[in-house]
Amino acid sequence: MIKSLFESSKKCATQYGQIIVWATLIFFAFDLLYWRIIRGYTPPVSYVPWPPAPDWVETLYAARWALRALEVAGGVTLIYLEVIDQSLSRWLRKMLESRTQTACWIIGAGLLLGSYLIQPGHFAPGDATAHIGTPWAIRQSMIDGQWFVFWTNYAYLGNPFTQFYSPAYYYLVAITSFLIRDFNISAEVVLLTAHGLSALAMYLYVRQLTGSRVAGAVAAITWSATFYRYHLAVILGKLPTALFISLWPLQFYLIEKLIATQDGKRKFWAGLALTIGAMIWTHMLYGGWMILLGCFYALCRLIIPWQPKRFKESFMRVLVIITAHGAGAVTGLYYLIPSFAERQAVVGGPLGAGFGLPTIRLANMMIFKESYLTDWFGGFVGNTIIAFAIEAIILILILRYSNALALSIQFILVSLLVFSPYYAPAIFDSIFAALPLGNLVYSAKTPGFYLIALIGPASSLVGVSVQLLIEAKQHYLEARSHISSFWESIYNNLSPERIGMTVALMILFELVPLSLWVNIKYPDYYSGVDLGRAPIFKYLAEQKDKRDRVVDANTGGMNNWYYLAMMTEHPGLIGHTPDGPKEIHSRMFNLTDLLEKQAPSGTLSQEMIHLLEQYDIGYVITGASVKQLNNFEKVMQTETATLWRVRDHAPIAATKTLRENNRLPVEDSNENIQLKILDYTFNSNHVQLNFSLPQRAFVQLAYSAYPYQKVVLDGQTIQVTPTTLGLIGFWAEGGTHTV
């Protein structure tokens, strides 16, 4: 009877095995999304307390044991089908033989493993506040027809693309927001799309490097699952950087194509140049790193092993790759360098003799609880990933697999950049002090940020390890003159697909549960720093008169970004980032610092009152513990926050775009000044504005005033007066002027 049952099940597996495999894998995909939802609303570890889950989530949660039973049944079914009929191996082999199926499957896997980006809640910790608010400001500029500079205190001149350190992310999210109005969701869609496409690029790179589709698929799975990508996007909130690293596999795939291809070099050269340009526009600093690392990789790739007869050919190929990187740098930096150079002259950069933030230990990368909250300068990658990467390096040396030697060297080099500042600081500092421009190594602020350049080689080496395990098995069988039939059958059953699936499952079993264990996002209605501010923001957004700036005494950096303006729909206080000239710091940040210190006492100094008036601030938000605030009117109060109306303030009279001829109302005057904008042109570090005034007036331009800036009015260099907002201000007589 048992034999009959086994035969019938084997027959069933032969006939319906592929259908069962597809159905089971689809079930596991939906099962992961199920747990994303459940753990999103009820996370074991979170940054802030989550409120009780909605009723529909409780209903789903009640089915968890049934789902767990199905998970076990699905796993047993796949193992059984693989053992008796190799159904899973045949499915994988067949899928990888089709380009279309492979692309769809790899992108789908990348999207599924990146689904932590769309788990419940929105980005808020770390730098994410600025990275959500700034696309809103750009969108407002687009709606108003202002495809030119808008007010910023970032010490940048030029068009909007040059006002942001990493413009590509901000503009992609702003454009996406025309389809999806919520900026948090727009950011999630942009990052998730990049996550899926990046998985395909990683597959192509490792397949090109090893010649193995299975190795490419495993590398793509590893790249999509590495926990550091969650750490970077959700825990640190570095959303532009999260987009940036998605381009890494494409860069190295195109380098490999230029190394291997004789025909069609032009399209790969152009593709590499455009990729480098995109990387610089996504993050200028890290883009510069990847230019250096990419050229170094190509050099190692072509001269190892050393072959004197091929020196000329190798030299020419390295030259082609370097010129592609150079062309990409020109493409990416044409608009950014002039304005960035001006900013560096004023703000400066972290280019001293050391890192501005702490160095990191191995524990910050290898121990989960040492990285996700306690010390964010590091970042957990995945111990299985690191283990397989090290194994790959050992096998590369044993089997003399020269194709991946360059990748191994890069992994070791970046590892030294990450950890030697902690374990050998004197040696590290002396080496880079001796190198030309060596102090640029400190531009990363903390060596932990070099993990950005480590996870790509590590994930790729996992794919390489799969291919080398396959080759090592074959070498072992060929080297043994006699082997028992038992071991021979075991080795023969270790097909490439089975080796690849085993490695991939080991990585997934470690990393997927960790991404379900943590939800560092904020609840959807948790606006700003606590739940109590959401009703206040909603109240302000519903007001018809939106001419008054809003300042919050308890949000720290949120005042410094567009986020508060986005939430309240009132004018913002300052621009994209708190970086700026000291002159601006002394004005802008004096207000927020004083307010934060004085508000808890309930009494603001006369200096503070004057600052509120000068900055056109009509509303102040404080904690609920503040029972009174001078003679301000208490508008509303929640459990954690209070909204106050400033009685004596100067509301903004008017805000107009440069594409209109406007009458600008002037308070305390019987007449309005008719301001005409005749012409407006700009490039990355030069602005020219032609305008006319009917009478003598004080002109304030929407540009930051800072040192080293030359302002010419009607052909004469003038000394400008930095206004209260830190902008360019000067007196002009009635008539037509060019500034």
Q: Residue 362's CB: how many other CB atoms inside 10 A?
A: 15
707 to 346, 461, 581, 711, 729: CA distances (angstroms): 7, 49, 8, 11, 14
Contact predicate 442/355, CB 8 Å? yes
CB burial class (10 A; 0-12, 13-18, 19+) of residue 574? buried
Contact predicate 341/326, CB 8 Å? no
Degrees to nearest 5, angle at CA 429 with 427 and 431: 70
If DSSP codes are grouped into helix, strand and coil, which group holds residue 654? coil
Q: Give the pLDDT score at 158.
A: 40
CA distance 241 to 123: 14
Q: What is the DSSP string of 196-214?
A: HHHHHHHHHHHHHHHS-HH
User: What is the identity of the amino acid at 93?
Assistant: R
Beta strand spans in 592-669 (E): 617-623, 633-637, 641-645, 662-664
Q: Give the pLDDT score at 659.
A: 54
Q: Give the pLDDT score at 155.
A: 41
Sequence-distant (≥ 6) Cβ neighbours of residue 325 within 8 angstroms: 272, 273, 276, 291, 294, 295
Q: Residue 498's CB: how many other CB atoms inside 10 A?
A: 17
Please give the backbone phi and psi of residue 632, each rounded to the nearest 5 degrees, phi first.
-70, 150
Q: Give the pLDDT score at 197.
A: 97
Q: How high is the mean pLDDT in each 10-residue block of the chain (739 residues)?
A: 62 73 91 92 79 88 92 90 84 91 95 92 73 81 57 42 68 92 91 96 96 95 93 86 94 92 82 93 88 92 78 84 91 70 59 76 84 68 94 91 91 94 90 84 85 94 94 72 64 82 94 86 66 83 83 64 77 56 54 81 86 82 87 88 83 56 50 75 75 87 75 92 77 94
Place of tokens 């995909």: 29
Q: Residue 22's CB: how many other CB atoms inside 10 A?
A: 12
Q: Give the pLDDT score at 36.
A: 92
If DSSP codes are grouped into helix, strand and coil, which group holds residue 720? coil
Q: Give the pLDDT score at 687.
A: 81
Structure token digits, residue 574: 């300052």
Q: Give the pLDDT score at 16.
A: 74
What length is written for the chain?
739
Closest-CA residue to 428 (of 371, 378, 349, 355): 355
Structure token digits, residue 533: 């501010």
Q: At 157, which helix (H) or strand (E)?
A: none
Q: At 137, which helix (H) or strand (E)?
A: helix 128-143
